[in-house]
Structure 1
Amino acid sequence: MLKSDYYFELPQELIAQDPLEERTSSRLLVLDKRTGAVSHHGFREIGEFLRPGDCLVLNDTKVIPARLLGEREGTGAHVELLLLKRRSGDVWETLVRPGKKCRPGTRLTFGDGLLKAEILDTVEEGNRLVRFDYEGIFEEALDRLGEMPLPPYITHKLQDRNRYQTVYAKHEGSAAAPTAGLHFTKELLGRLEGKGIGIAYVTLHVGLGTFRPVKEENVLEHHMHTEHYQVSREAADTINRTKAQGGRIVCVGTTSCRTLESAAGEDGLVRPCSGDTDIFIYPGYRFRVLDALITNFHLPESTLIMLVSALAGREHVLAAYEEAVRERYRFFSFGDAMLIVDGGI
């Protein structure tokens, strides 16, 4: 399987730079995963494609303002830090730019010394282990100094950091938003529940893999980074009960999908658990839990377009993407949505 098999032409102007004023005003392309048929809708109509007894699975991770801009002590040279994962206490795994000048022992300062850091070590992929030094509470300093870690293809400044956060975000720890959830409002979720659609919350803290391109032409040689996830007893019971009663599991986003597929046994039952996952889903994968997927439009040659191709088939997905380009859908994090489902409702 080749990376180039998942390439498609995307005009630069279709990459959404800003969120829409109203979350639910995004568009929705519905793809029948069996036939490849597509239809065009507004996201407000999502309930028309869900049945009473179905269950939406949402990732309730919360994005932290993980991007820190500061300088190297002694030189004043600019440095940028992206927090990826808390290793222990005040020690974090980070992505540092420029990395060549930030060797172990280098000291950094942010916000006129409100937050200080020392580079401890260089680890996998050139990431740095950093220990922070501060007075008071780290989260308060981070909230004051940090910026939302928007993907590199978004060049506009985010005016309201809450727009890169789902309305149900709860557990802090992500370096990126689970963007399929950005289309939902509390009112829309309430209407869906009123229709008899269940909701289960799982947690996966989105990490560096979101930013890493696939470099190897042979996709099977690609290395996925681990991300921490958690599935509660309540969520597992809700999902298993839905399946037992004939309802469909509709994952909101690829992160929810990877969480469930990591937590499920060969028997398809989801077990309450927590841990780290590096699951890589690509065509040929047999889904254990997921029946349908709500997702955004992904980058060419990315692991995410490979995941949706595993669900609906590469030809169907690439044809749907070509249709989305023709119809001028908005792509990526702040873009429009796609529902991949078997048949209609």
Structure 2
Amino acid sequence: MKAIISRVHSGNKIKRTSGERVFDAVNVFIMIIWAVSAIYPFWYILVMSFNTGADAAAGPIWFFPRVFTLENYAFVFQYDRLHSAFIVTSLRCIVGPVISVFVTMLAAFALSKRFLPGRKTVLFFFMLPMFIGGTIISNYVVIAKLGLLNNFLVYVLPGAFGFFSMIIMRTHIEDLPPELQESATIDGAGYVRIFLQIILPLCMPIIAAFSFFAVVGNWLDYYTNLIYVTNRSLSTLQYVLYEIINRAEANTLIDYTKTSGAAQRRLMSMANNTVPTPEVIKMTVMVVVTFPLLFVYPFFQKYFVKGMLTGAVKA
């Protein structure tokens, strides 16, 4: 008791020992190292994207561009199909998550009813694809039979339902007080009204979390475009950026026959030391791909902990 009293200042603050100070200092040092190691790769990519290719090839760049330029971004953004690909990807990131979350929530709401006939059988068949997946050929045949080749719906329909997401949403719905649905049923509300006016509002945190996951998945996916879409007007941003990297490595970044006259004059008038190299083009493409998600993430961050944990643990 005397030891505790002796550690208290006149301001009712506990006096910290030298061991506690050392422990806090070590923790702060470790967190700083961890933060730098996590942030620096992004900073390095950003710095390289703003540096000229010839100067970047001359030696490593660590913290700031040695020769600042915006020509790397000019080369990437004047690619002939980049703007249409951005529109297609933006539509995909809007339509895809809406359909995915709505379909998954409908399935979760229905399967949360223990009196549903054949409930265990449906869960069993929903679970099978998690362990037994189709091959590329079988998936291609199914997509072709459904008429989704070179169709915008191929981006949103095949991935509209996720069993793992449905299980978490179903558990969250089951954790809600059953009296809410019972009282609504007594008042004459049907299942559609209960779902729209009670279940959806109470599931907004988990819906926001999975919506962000769906947006990220749709934004970063280029495999679907690579396998199922050959129509160039339906190309996604990731696939077009993939083409840009391939052309940069082959030293054929810009197809002069498909660029406008102003773009041709701009490219031909550039000095040789400002022409982007494949290395800086890769860094620029990574900035274009990654950084938009970094600006969107803070708006969804507050929903992650609550949204993921409320349906992950069964009380």
Q: Output the TM-score relative to the length of structure 1.
A: 0.26
More strand by share: 1
Q: Output the TM-score relative to the length of structure 2.
A: 0.28
Q: Of the two structures, which has the highest relative contact order with CA contacts closer than 8 Å and spacing of 6 or more?
A: 2
More helix by share: 2
Rg larger in structure: 2
